[in-house]
């Protein structure tokens, strides 16, 4: 079973808390993307990132000085978003850390896919960025089915805790041999499940922590999740969609 999650835009450097396990699987492809973005002007890079002047200058400087082999932070500590704050990997037990290294994968527009202890540097490149490279119209074309293939293991079960932007690069390749489970967190309003971005990000992080702390290796075990007021809604769920409501 593999659990896939999205990265976060905000990143930090922490070279002390945990040791790096390895370089990312697709480090050479990240190098191709790095070289391409390094050739951009600041104006071009800002248009790609669709961000403020301040963030554009920060990330432009990062790319100009980027070394993919030095000053590395374990991926699971590098991202600072709400999902990662609620996951709180810094306080995991050794057993929980081993669990996420085996089961958790972070999808990335820049690195493709990451194991929690792969060493990364701060970058900005969303999967939906309009970047044409190597004959491909965008990053979905650049990565193709490689991210999907990297997630497959013996039981071919993938738990989707990623946003649509990132799940799109995997879901389109799912076959009848795979079990792909979408997990939704929302509120039941007038008979319909309404998902709110902030709360969903928090719940995704809490779900990863729940799975890791309880060493859950069968999707059935996810249904016991009761955190942030969420509980499994059997009547709204099916084999391919697990719905949790407040």
Q: Do 158 and 177 contact (CB within 8 A), yes or no? A: no
Residue 10 exposed, middle or buried by CB count within 10 Å (0-12, 13-18, 19+): middle
Distance CA 233, CA 219 (A): 15
Q: Where are the beta strands (DSSP E) in the chain?
A: 2-5, 73-74, 104-108, 112-114, 119-120, 157-161, 179-189, 192-194, 231-232, 241-245
Model's pTM, two decimal places? 0.95
Instruction: List the chain pLDDT tens, one digit each, 246 residues.
Output: 999 999 999 999 999 999 999 999 999 999 999 999 999 999 999 999 999 999 999 999 999 999 999 999 999 999 999 999 999 999 999 999 999 999 999 999 999 999 999 999 999 999 999 999 999 999 999 999 999 999 999 999 999 999 999 999 999 999 999 999 999 999 888 778 888 889 999 999 999 999 999 999 999 999 999 999 999 999 999 999 999 998
Locate 156 and state its tokens.
């071919």
Q: How many CB atoms are closer than 10 A to CB 60?
A: 21
């Amino acid at each position: 079973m593999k659990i896939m999650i999205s990265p976060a835009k905000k990143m930090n450097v922490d070279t002390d808390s945990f040791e790096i396990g390895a370089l990312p699987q697709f480090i050479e492809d990240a190098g191709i993307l790095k070289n391409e973005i390094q050739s951009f002007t600041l104006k071009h890079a800002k248009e790609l990132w669709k961000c403020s002047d301040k963030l554009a200058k920060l990330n432009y400087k990062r790319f100009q000085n980027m070394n993919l082999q030095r000053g590395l932070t374990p991926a699971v500590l590098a991202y600072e978003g709400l999902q990662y704050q609620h996951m709180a990997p810094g306080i995991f037990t050794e057993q929980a850390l081993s669990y996420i290294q085996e089961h958790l994968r972070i999808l990335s527009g820049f690195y493709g896919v990451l194991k929690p202890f792969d060493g990364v540097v701060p970058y900005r490149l969303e999967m939906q960025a309009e970047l044409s490279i190597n004959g491909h119209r965008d990053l979905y074309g650049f990565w193709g089915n490689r991210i999907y293939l990297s997630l497959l293991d013996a039981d071919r079960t993938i738990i989707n805790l990623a946003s649509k932007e990132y799940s799109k690069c995997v879901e389109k390749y799912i076959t009848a041999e795979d079990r792909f489970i979408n997990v939704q967190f929302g509120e039941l309003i007038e008979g319909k499940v309404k998902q709110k971005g902030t709360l969903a990000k928090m719940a995704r992080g809490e779900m990863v922590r729940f799975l890791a702390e309880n060493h859950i290796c069968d999707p059935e075990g996810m249904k016991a999740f009761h955190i942030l007021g969420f509980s499994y809604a059997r009547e709204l769920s099916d084999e391919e969609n697990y719905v949790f409501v407040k």
